[in-house]
Structure 1
Amino acid sequence: MLIFSTISLLLSNAVTLRRDKSIYFSRVAILVLLYSSTVALKSLYIIALDRGIGLFGGLFHATSTTHTFQIFIFIISLTILQLTGFYSRRVWIPEYSSLNKLFRYDLLYYKSKILNKMGQQYKIIEYPLIILFIITGAVFLISSSDLVSIFLSIELQSYGLYLLSTLYRNSELATSGGLTYFLLGGLSSCFILLGTTLLYANSGTTNLDGIYVLTSISDLSYTSTGVNDVDMVAASRDLNYEDLDWYKSDYINISFLILSVGFLFKVSAAPFHFWSPDVYDAIPTIVTTFVAIIAKISIFIFFLELVHYSSNSLFNNEFSWTTSLIVSSLLSLIIGTVLGLSQVRIKRLFAYSTISHLGFILLALTINSIESIQAFIFYLMQYSISNLNGFIILISIGFSLFYYSNDTKEYKELAEKDNSPIQLVSQLKGYFYINPALALCLTITIFSFVGVPPLIGFFAKQMVLSAALDSGFVFMALVAILTSVISAVYYLNIIKEIFFDQPDYKINEDIKNLSLHANIEKNNIREISAAESEKLTFKVDSIRLSSPLTLTISCLSLIIVIFMFIPDEWLSMANILALIIFNT
């Protein structure tokens, strides 16, 4: 369905003359993702009866875990596409806002600048097309079970992300950020390609199942009995022990280590994080929302099965490639927290916040117990939702400030104000006095990042820390607790700016008393007579945020808040997926 829809959109883009019709392409992509979610949900029950289905000769492996997160990616993506699938602002007239009149009348208003109908994000017809490419790569990567399909999937996803980052042609910052992303992404792809090459050279197979079997056999060769399978094979064939050196698991471990470096680059985990703050800050906020979430979900779910099946051996080796993940987790916790303290730009702060949270995710992934995998699945889902809500609120705040002006020097010197209206933490100063509801939603999201009970972020951190303590990772648990407390400093600084400072914004006097005119007409009438058309005059304060934006923010904020009242569904799903992984 995704590939067919992508080809259809590609053909439609080729014959489109008006670029301002991009909003309809985004709506088509939303319908495609809804249908794909339905298809994936129906096939989930078939896969759940078995323990997975191999596809295309073993290139892909569909399981309950992969299908669940494919549906999750579809839902997250269609939520992001709402930002370009509907206009950001609308006219709200109380006397024409009843359900009866909403369906019977149309409001015709042609002042597109105030409603932001000519915003650059509504003129890029390639945007939904590239997003479908990226989602296709993400879906393939989640289900990949062969070295060939892994590399093709990650490149399909990555090249779409590079294009998406530079999609705003007139933006110098976006072009430089996308170029940085492309160059360092190409470097990480070199590590992935080198790792896959070494795996094939040392194992003789590209199938991950075969590599897992060889790893287990090589583990068995290091028993303490003094007689092992490798010695028996060498004796029976009159071979030297050195002829079977490829059989040792250290070679495969080193190959996995190099492979993991490439993927840690892709998710911007420390010490390979240096590109993400610059890229997040340079590209438009609407694009950042997609880049910051989807790539991480697909790579971590692929990592889940890779870590589980390659480190769950019968005998413990002195060296395991998953040790690198623990080191990366420790560095991510420290670097994401310490460097975040000095940030004054909001998207750079979000980037370091993401790095800090990646430390929790990597810690849960490396422990590799039923409890930790449950915590990993739950943490990944809740953080994706919280991060999505945070970025959508930032975008909505930018759309809501058209009525105000800011004469401060630092605001006047901001570049790319049209693509990213909110760039500085100080721009949120006193926003509670402008829009209390939106300020409260952002506060809820930030408190969830901190891990304040009873929000969903608290339960996620508690599950990871509990799994770490149960498995003996006491030092990592202490570091995670300490960094969580320290990171609360820069989160609470945002709260202070919003609630306890006076705003620098003033109502724009040029449009304060401006009278706007529109026509109210009945629906489904081809020829409108003068009696059937009514002129309407309204003020600028009747222009509000659009319903898709407000409904999305409300739903995501409610999920964060009311989790404590409905925890069973989330926790049961994470627990079932973890049990399925350990029982296969």
Structure 2
Amino acid sequence: MNSLYPELAHALPEAILAVGAIVLVLFGAIRGKDSSGPTSEIAVAILGAAILSIVLGSPVEGVVFNNAFIDDHFADFMKVLSLSGSIVTLLMSGDFMRRAGVDKFEFPVLIVLATLGMLMLISANGLISLYLGLELMSLSLYVVAALSRDDARASEAGLKYFVLGALSSGMLLYGASLLYGFAGTVTFTGIAAAIGEHPNMGVVFGLVFLLAGLAFKMSVVPFHMWTPDVYEGAPTPVTTFFASAPKVAAVAIATRVIITAFPGALGQWQQVIVFMALASMALGSFAAIGQTNIKRLMAYSSIGHMGFALVGLAAGTQAGVQGVLTYMAIYMVMTLGAFAAILSMRVDGRPVEKITDLAGLSKTDPAMAFFLSMLMFSLAGVPPLAGFFAKFYVFMAAVEAHLYWLAVIGVLTSAVAAFYYLRVVKIIYFDEAAPAFDKATFTQRTVLALASLAMLLFWVYPAPLVQAATSAAKSLF
């Protein structure tokens, strides 16, 4: 029993979320139908307490629970990102869920449980803990996607995500069982020691299946097919959540698995990552051009951005991992800001989702027009905004790893993607004004303003983020 307390100290954020989720369920059950409002506030407090436990906790790294769980700077960095995404989603979603009639107390509970799964996933140090974290996250996301039961599109989105998610979980589990069979251990360091410099065909098969399962959660090509339909069909706050925190967790575990479990199989996994990066950048850039729905546009945008993030991972170096971490932090801020604007798109109390609904926004709401335009410029990678630096770091890592052609294709697809981001800016400033939006909530306007100002002013003082990402990347090597 005495040895359990030091181990629990390393898993304090997870313990806070687990206890918090139980408290929320009991609170909701006791309060009944009146519980929806306070439940969100309590959930935000629980997630905030988890962040504080990471930021103020001991900087000592450790591997606990029989090598199943690792607490290091890499995990801390990604956990703070995931928790932040969950908190912002909950803060922005209250008004939308109330108006849509789906402000059930289960929504904050499921967000907390999904976030608990993400934290377990980010700190997984073996195949079993990886699968446990992934499934806890996924099962919560399946329910959240179909939360609006009376909406046919939301039900269809939930069903598509569930069916394809179950398939991807099966593939991941098959890959994990192959790896266990050939390596004789489930821990990542044990697998690295067992397979050495020359992995056999069975290990390569296991690695490919494992990456396929993780690729689904990252929504990279060729496992992206659910993304546009689920983004469009799910309620907008749910889409906001899908686009931010779970992506961070999926990229985190993919990075940890590749760097710590397969350092000797660089030639094998690099081919898979390079293919997924190229295909995702290309599809994300070209498929978004014809979109008319802003949420579908953001879906293809996120596929493209995951491709750009994988360029850094393909390098397989510390600089590459640092690039991935910086990219994910900047991507999440841009995405949350953009979705704050999408949540504000409401005419006569009814949400609108067409890109043309933004026409003439500069005349009806100049502040929102400016902030959203800055985010679009940043997503396009226009200097000196933060989105440019995010791409710069991953492309430089690829160049240093002699993957010149990958960086060149990344720059070219980035130029193609700029077309549809700039088209949104053109519609906002130069098209005939559409009906004015209803007044956005204070939280939505605040998130939009802070996100765009962070992107605009990142170049003034990038040191804190870059240093934190460097420290996090170093702990993996």
Would you call these one fold, judging by a TM-score over 0.5?
Answer: yes
Which has a greater percent of strand? 1
The equivalent position to 1:186 in structure 2, one of 162, 166, 188, is: 166
1:2 paired to 2:22 = no
Task: Report how far residue 180 of structure 1 moved.
Answer: 0.3
Point out 4+ residue stretches in structure 1 off by more than 4 angstroms: 116-119
Return the letter of the residue paired with 2:62: I
The counterpart of 1:74, out of the listed 56, 61, 83, is: 83
Say if 2:434 is the partner of 1:504.
yes
Q: CA deviation at 1:330?
A: 0.7
Amino acid at match of 1:191: M
Name the SS for the 1:504 alignment partner. coil
8 Å Cα contact 1:254-1:321 kept in structure 2: no
| Match status 1:550 vs 2:412 | no
Kindly indicate which of the two structures has a greater share of residues assigned to helix: 2
Q: Give the superposed CA RMSD.
A: 1.8
Q: Kindly report which structure 2 residues correspond to 1:199-210, keeping only aligned pairs within 5 A, or say none.
A: 199-210=179-190
1:291 to 222, 231, 242: 242
Q: Structure 1 residues 310, 55: closer, same or farther in 2, change over 3 A?
A: closer
Maintained 8 Å contact 2:345/2:353: no
Distance 2:441 2:431 in 1: 28
| Aligned counterparts, 1:45-84, within 5 A | 45-47=58-60, 52-84=61-93
- Out of 453, 456, 461, the residue aligned to residue 391 of structure 2 is 461
Following superposition, the deviation at residue 342 of structure 1 comes to 1.2
Q: Give the drift of 1:42.
A: 2.3
Distance 1:175 1:454 in 2: 42
Instruction: Letter of the 1:63 partner, please give it.
Output: D
Deviation at 1:186, TM superposition (A): 0.5
Given the two structures, how large is their TM-score scaled by the length of structure 1? 0.76
Name the counterpart of 2:284.
336
Stretches of structure 2 lacking an aligned partner (at least 5 in a row): 1-15
SS in 2 for 1:321: helix
Tell me by how many angstroms 1:310 deviates.
3.4
Structure-2 residue corresponding to 1:433: 363
Distance in structure 2 (CA, Å) of the matches to 1:16 and 1:324: 50
The SS at the match of 1:561 is helix
Is 1:356 matched up with 2:304? Answer: yes
Q: Does 1:443 align with 2:373?
A: yes
- Alpha-carbon distance in 2 for matches of 1:265, 1:351: 14
- SS of equivalent to 1:263: helix
Identity of aligned residues (%): 29
Tell me, yes or no, if structure 1 residue 578 matches structure 2 residue 470: no
Shift of 1:18: 2.6
Q: Is the 8 A contact 2:324 2:394 kept in 1?
A: yes
Residue of structure 1 in register with 2:9 after alignment? none
Aligned pair count reads 462
Unaligned 5+ segments in structure 1 are 89-115, 223-247, 404-417, 508-542
Following superposition, the deviation at residue 118 of structure 1 comes to: 4.9
Q: 3-state SS of the aligned residue for 2:352? A: coil
User: Match for 2:27 among 2, 9, 12?
Assistant: 12
Q: Take 1:548 and 1:265, find their aligned partners in 2: how far apart are those partners?
A: 31
Show the 5 A alignment for 1:383-402: 383-398=331-346, 401-402=347-348
TM alignment of 1:152-191, pairs within 5 A: 152-191=132-171
Give how far 1:482 is off.
0.8
Q: Deviations over 1:246-303 (max 9, x none)?
A: xx54322221111101111121101111111111111111110001212111111111
C-alpha distance in 1, partners of 2:246/2:436?
39
Give the letter for the 1:163 counterpart.
V
Secondary structure of 1:54 counterpart: strand
Rg (Cα) greater in structure: 1
Kindly indicate whether residue 267 of structure 2 is the aligned counterpart of residue 258 of structure 1. no
Distance 1:424 1:552 in 2: 21
SS in 1 for 2:222: coil
Q: 1:254 to 1:291 in 2, by over 3 A?
A: same
Q: Distance in 1 between matches of 2:153 and 2:380?
A: 30
